[in-house]
Amino acid sequence: MRFSKVPRSIRQLTTHVFAIFLGVLLTVSTLRVLPSQAEPAPISDKIGDAPELIAQKQSSAAVAIGNSSFVTAAVNRVGPAVVRIDTERTITRRVDPFMEDPFFRRFFGDSFPQQLPSEQLRGLGSGFIIDKSGLILTNAHVVDKADKVTVRLKDGRNFEGKVQGIDEVTDLAVVKINAGRDLPVASLGSSNAVQVGDWAIAVGNPLGFDNTVTLGIVSTLKRSSAQVGISDKRLDFIQTDAAINPGNSGGPLLNDRGEVIGINTAIRADAMGIGFAIPIDKAKAIATQLERNGKVAHPYLGVQMVTLTPELAKQNNTDPNSTFEIPEVNGVLVMRVVPNSPAAKAGIRRGDVIVQVDGLAIANAEQLQNLVENTNLGQALQVKVQRGNQTQQLSIRTAELQNATS
């Protein structure tokens, strides 16, 4: 049999068609094997299967604030020992004195009341139990001058509280309740170990909202009471951005381990985003004295003072309206001398600049205040003052501060 010969052009065309068909077939097969880019990669159920997927490490922030965070653990540890303190105080207001004048009483007669009806003032604060016997630590301003103190535990029990002692200078107070010896106790830490940036957890009853917790950090340490604007106190506060409002006063400030590092105090009504707490190490020493003696003896000199620098002194001296010239030195300027105080008896005068105490150079008012606070009652201090162009060496014997406002 003879076959007709296929033209060369037809054979070339057939070869090209076959090649295109084979290429399309291979492409379709490949698409069936490779995953689409829009689909997720397959997840293996077995650790040994390939490809192995490596889990992303959880961030430290996510670990810190997770489903079971350190905040929850800290609050669970201390929360039962945090109490609410309700106070009542009765105030009787007298009539304006001119109404007691016989001339006016002639018109109103004996029926005119000499006193107005009594008024009940109620207060609210927080505190925390520091001993199983029922000792509670709080702020002095929470219970000061209260006629009745009621302590409410987290479990709902109420007890009458007895104020064991108050110290206005450090704004601390100790209250006692009789509730057996099954009370929860807060774990006290050390404020000396606190650093700026540490976690801070405030627990209390702000604005009457019981069992409230706020979280922040320690923003500053050793913020002096003078800087805060309460010159009648002798404290270096822990500053925090954890929300502290009225009703939080006396409640604990905790670290990330649930230990009390400070006592919250709402002392600045205009404070926005910052709060202050009394360091717990200071409170421990004061609480012991309040429990034992009911008060704390604070030594004082009897001067009102401000920090002085040569620059500030120069500004005063170049002011034509200045009433006196100030030595252009570093030290503490005496603005006022309290009558009959140790400073007055020793000869300190207004305008003196205290530059040394017992040979130690004095740089600012806070340093001098802390130095006096740490001396013993009746201790004689050798004080060097700059008075005009002269230097005076005076001996001042400390005495007990009787009124926190003097």
| 96 pLDDT higher than 60 | no
What is the C-alpha to C-alpha distance for residues 135 and 285, in angstroms, rounded to an integer?
Answer: 14
Q: What is the DSSP letter of 316?
A: H
The span from the CA of 211 to the CA of 279, in Å, is 22
Report the predicted TM-score, pTM, of the whole model to 2 decimal places: 0.70
Using CA atoms, how far apart are residues 311 and 182, in angstroms rounded to an integer? 60
> pLDDT tens across 206-263, in order?
887 888 999 999 999 988 887 777 767 778 899 999 988 888 899 999 999 999 999 9
Question: What is the reported pLDDT for 114?
Answer: 57
C-alpha separations of 141 from 23, 175, 372 in Å: 90, 13, 24
Query: Where do the structural domains in the chain lie, given as residue ranges?
Result: 75-108+117-176, 191-293, 299-400
Q: Cα(372)–Cα(297) distance, rounded to whole angstroms?
A: 12
Which residue's entry shows tokens 């209250």?
Answer: 175
Whether residue 267 is predicted with pLDDT greater than 70 in this model: the reply is no
**Cis omega (within 30 of 0) on the bond before 299?**
no
Which backbone phi and psi does 54 adopt, to 5 degrees?
A: -100, 120
Residue type, 1: M
What is the maximal distance between C-alpha atoms in the chain? 159
Residue 378 confidence (pLDDT) above 70: yes
Comparison of pLDDT for 340 and 19, the residue scoring more: 340
Q: What is the pLDDT of residue 112?
A: 53
Task: Tell me the average pLDDT across 116-134.
Answer: 85
Residue 8 has pLDDT above 70, yes or no: no
Assign domain 299-400 to its CATH architecture.
Roll (2.30)
Please determine, for residue 105, whether its predicted confidence score (pLDDT) is greater than 70: no
| 3-state class percentages of the chain: helix first, strand second, coil last, to nearest 5 | 25, 30, 40
Which residues are CB-neighbours of 188 under 8 A, at least 6 positions away? Answer: 130, 259, 260, 280, 284
Query: What does the pLDDT read at residue 383?
Result: 95
CB within 8 Å of 282: residues ≥ 6 apart: 170, 191, 235, 236
Which superfamily does CATH assign the domain made up of 75-108+117-176 to? Trypsin-like serine proteases (2.40.10.10)
Residue 97: what pLDDT?
Answer: 58
| Whether domain 191-293 has CATH 2.40.10.10 | yes
Angstrom CA distances, 350 to 334, 335, 353, 386, 390, stand at 5, 5, 9, 11, 15
pLDDT category of residue 22 using cuts at 50, 70 and 90: very low
The reply to whether domains 75-108+117-176 and 191-293 share a CATH topology is yes
Mean pLDDT of the 333-351 span:
94
Nearest residue to 150 via CA among 139, 141, 161, 137: 161
Active-site positions read 141, 171, 249
Q: What local confidence, expressed as pLDDT, does residue 215 receive?
A: 93
Residues 278 and 168 sit within 8 Å (Cβ to Cβ): no
- CA dist 32 and 255 (Å) reads 59
